[in-house]
């Protein structure tokens, strides 16, 4: 039997764990007023991580790596130290969109530096509050830790040139996890142009969740993604979204299902659509 830690943790498990061992709880809400909302109310002892400031190096021009390029290893090391995270820390992350904000992105980044004990709270902030997890508006005290040494990103990523090659190769599959209307080019709330990468298939991340907003069972997710991927090798599967954040929700779902984590196209549509690349919509795909 595998001793691999599940990428997801349920609230009852968290409550039990909280009493038994030291954990580091991270609030990874993103979007307008996210940090202000954290300051007003967060799960007790949770520390805040900011998507733009801590989990990306936002460029002036998203054509260079998209809206949320990965930070340098040095910067990420500083972020972890600032949060009080060491290689032995058990980190549990939540947001208010069940992982599709920045919780799954932070999970992926920690997995990519081979941090062993990291999980995302299934159900997120709302479920925790609903079931009585204590909240706070206090400034959380963080103990200083030694610098977290990082040598490289160990999980695979794809750049724009690799995606261009993969989309025309039958041995590869490019998965777009944005909602269908964005994929079809009917609406685009964040980027300049609506549409999708020609040859990509649309598997919205929302399909990872059941009607109650929790991740579907590992068995259901395994069946779903095994059928989609077929006999493709993990290194030939590329997953993307708008800016490399929500795609991590699907990477987490695959890991939960026991499927090897495929490549993340970090630049995603925000980079692709700004580089004079071929684009498609429902009308011309």
Do 124 and 181 belong to one domain? no
Q: Please give the pLDDT value at position 59.
A: 79
Neighbours of 186 (CB within 10 A): 14
Do 23 and 95 belong to one domain? yes
Q: Could you tell me if residue 216 is inside a domain?
A: yes
41-51 burial: b if 16+ Cβ within 10 Å, else e? ebbeebbbbbb
Q: Please give the pLDDT value at position 20.
A: 65
Q: Which of 136, 167, 194 is the last residue of a domain?
A: 136
Do 110 and 183 belong to one domain? no
Q: Could you tell me if residue 23 is inside a domain?
A: yes
Distance between CA atoms of residues 73 and 279, nearest Å: 32
Q: Could you tell me if residue 72 is inside a domain?
A: yes
Do 120 and 56 belong to one domain? yes
Q: Could you tell me if residue 201 is inside a domain?
A: yes
Do 111 and 180 belong to one domain? no
Q: Could you tell me if residue 147 is inside a domain?
A: no
Look up the domain containing 260 and give its range.
Answer: 157-272
Helix (H) or strand (E) holding 77: helix 73-82
Q: Please give the pLDDT value at position 101.
A: 87
Residues in the chain with pLDDT < 50? 1
Do 94 and 162 belong to one domain? no
Distance between CA atoms of residues 98 and 80, nearest Å: 22
Do 164 and 132 belong to one domain? no
Do 188 and 237 belong to one domain? yes
Do 258 and 219 belong to one domain? yes
Q: Provide the CATH number for the domain around residue 26.
A: 3.40.250.10
Q: Could you tell me if residue 146 is inside a domain?
A: no
Do 255 and 182 belong to one domain? yes
81-116 burial: b if 16+ Cβ within 10 Å, else e? bebbbeeebbbbbbbbbbbbbbbbbbbbbbbbbebe
Helix (H) or strand (E) holding 264: strand 263-265
Do 179 and 100 belong to one domain? no
What is the average pLDDT score of the chain? 94
Tokens (6 digits) for 190 = 């964040």
Q: Which of 136, 165, 193 is the last residue of a domain?
A: 136
Please tell me the chain's helix, strand, coil percentages from 3-state DSSP, rounded to the nearest 5: 35, 15, 55
Q: Please give the pLDDT value at position 107.
A: 98
Q: CA torsion angle for 61, 65, 66, 69 (degrees, to 10)? A: -110
Q: Please give the pLDDT value at position 1.
A: 37
Do 208 and 251 belong to one domain? yes
Q: Which of 136, 169, 204 is the last residue of a domain?
A: 136
Domain count, the chain: 2
User: Active-site residues: which are they?
Assistant: 241
Q: Please give the pLDDT value at position 143.
A: 87
Strand-pair partners of 67: none
Q: Please give the pLDDT value at position 285.
A: 57
Are 145 and 85 spatial neighbours (Cβ–Cβ below 8 Å)?
A: yes
CA–chain centroid gap for 65, Å, is 16
Distance between CA atoms of residues 205 and 179, nearest Å: 7
């Amino acid at each position: 039997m595998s001793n691999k830690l599940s990428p997801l943790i349920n609230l009852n498990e968290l409550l039990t764990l909280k009493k038994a061992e030291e954990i580091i709880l991270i609030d990874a809400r993103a979007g307008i007023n996210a940090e202000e909302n954290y300051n007003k109310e967060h799960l007790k002892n949770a520390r805040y991580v900011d998507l733009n400031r801590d989990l990306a190096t936002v460029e002036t021009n998203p054509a260079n790596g998209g809206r949320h390029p990965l930070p340098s290893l040095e910067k990420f090391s500083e972020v972890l130290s600032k949060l009080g995270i060491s290689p032995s820390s058990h980190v549990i992350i939540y947001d208010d969109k069940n992982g599709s904000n920045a919780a799954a992105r932070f999970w992926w980044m920690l997995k990519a530096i081979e941090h062993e004990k990291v999980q995302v709270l299934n159900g997120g902030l709302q479920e925790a509050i609903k079931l009585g997890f204590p909240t706070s508006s206090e400034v959380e005290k963080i103990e200083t830790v030694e610098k977290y040494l990082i040598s490289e990103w160990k999980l695979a990523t794809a750049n724009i040139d690799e995606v261009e090659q993969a989309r025309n190769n039958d041995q590869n599959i490019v998965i777009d996890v944005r909602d269908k209307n964005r994929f079809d080019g009917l609406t685009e709330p964040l980027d300049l142009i609506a549409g999708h990468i020609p040859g990509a298939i649309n598997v919205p991340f929302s399909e990872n969740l059941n009607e109650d907003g929790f991740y579907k069972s590992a068995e259901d997710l395994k069946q779903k993604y095994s059928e989609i991927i077929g006999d493709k090798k993990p290194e030939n599967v590329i997953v993307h979204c708008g800016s490399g954040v929500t795609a991590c929700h699907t990477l987490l779902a695959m890991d939960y299902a026991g499927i090897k984590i495929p490549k993340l196209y970090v630049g995603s549509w925000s980079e692709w659509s700004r580089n004079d690349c071929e684009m498609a919509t429902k009308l011309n795909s």
